């Protein structure tokens, strides 16, 4: 019998007053939460299992509202996400929902439409394949023995020479005064027992160099690896919210 183990945590880091990241693992969600010890959940391989992170856009008053709305919607429809088309439709629906929530909040306050937005990245684990999706700069990595391989596509402007990261995104769910459609990145990967994947916000990948991430993933499994990745981001100053999930497919 095959199963999926997911070890996850979400933490505000050391410099932010609040956590605007959110996380979905199957029907389970973490929103605006502080965890320093990874939570590990185990699911039978079969029904589509969604694992996703959303990073509320900094500087927007409703970043944590947008990220929580998106992961909760994905958690509710996760068992129906059995194709690339279904994932695209779900992500596009999340985008419309963020704009609707921003407009409603503006109406409630009697003022202009509130701007709120979020990135999104995740996977849907199917019996023999993995659906990978993202909008923005949160990331998904395959973790084979030879080292992490990025599967998601960064929606970011080109980097300047010598520049390793950027906080700018070229598309997000919500995040603009007027509605703007998104083009989700959705791909399919083959899946077999032993495969591992990392889903994370840029609070991990911006401060922690790629080789350090690779070293942790090479030396540790599951919950310990999740903890050591978080600790590496904190050691680099914890400049942003840190949310990550390690997904492993295995056989009993």
Q: Where are the domains of the chain?
A: 2-251
4-61: pLDDT as tens digits: 999 999 999 998 889 999 999 999 999 988 888 999 999 999 999 999 999 999 766 7
Contact 230, 213 (CB under 8 A): no
CA distances in angstroms from 49 to 14, 90, 114, 247, listed in the order given: 31, 14, 32, 11
127-186: pLDDT as tens digits: 999 999 999 999 999 999 899 999 999 998 887 776 677 778 999 999 998 999 999 999
Round to whole Å and give the CA distance between 244 and 218: 16
Contact 226, 244 (CB under 8 A): yes
Q: What is the third-level CATH fold of 2-251?
A: Phosphatase 2c; domain 1 (3.60.40)
Spacing of C-alpha 117 from chain mean position: 14
Residue keyed to tokens 């407009």: 103
- Rounded average pLDDT over 113-125: 91
């Amino acid at each position: 019998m095959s199963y999926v183990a997911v070890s996850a945590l979400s933490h505000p880091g050391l410099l932010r007053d609040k956590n605007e990241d959110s996380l979905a693992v199957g029907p389970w969600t973490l929103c605006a939460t502080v965890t320093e010890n990874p939570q590990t959940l185990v699911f039978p391989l079969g029904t589509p299992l969604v694992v996703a992170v959303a990073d509320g856009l900094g500087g927007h008053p409703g970043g944590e509202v947008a990220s929580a709305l998106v992961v909760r919607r994905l958690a509710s429809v996760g068992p129906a996400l059995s194709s690339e088309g279904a994932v695209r439709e779900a992500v596009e629906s999340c985008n419309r929902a963020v704009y609707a929530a921003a407009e409603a909040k503006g109406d409630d306050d009697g003022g202009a439409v509130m701007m709120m937005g979020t990135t999104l990245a995740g996977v849907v684990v199917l019996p023999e394949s993995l659906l990978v999706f993202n909008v923005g700069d949160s990331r998904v990595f395959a973790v084979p023995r030879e080292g992490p391989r990025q599967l998601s596509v960064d929606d970011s402007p080109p980097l300047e020479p010598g520049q390793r990261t950027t906080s700018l995104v070229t598309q997000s769910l919500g995040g603009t005064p007027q509605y703007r459609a998104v083009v989700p990145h959705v791909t399919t990967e083959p899946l077999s027992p032993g495969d591992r994947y990392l889903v994370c916000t840029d609070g991990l990948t911006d401060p922690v160099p790629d080789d350090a991430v690779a070293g942790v993933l090479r030396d540790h499994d599951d919950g310990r690896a999740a903890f050591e990745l978080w600790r590496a981001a904190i050691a680099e100053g914890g400049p942003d919210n840190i949310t990550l999930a390690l997904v492993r497919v295995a056989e009993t």
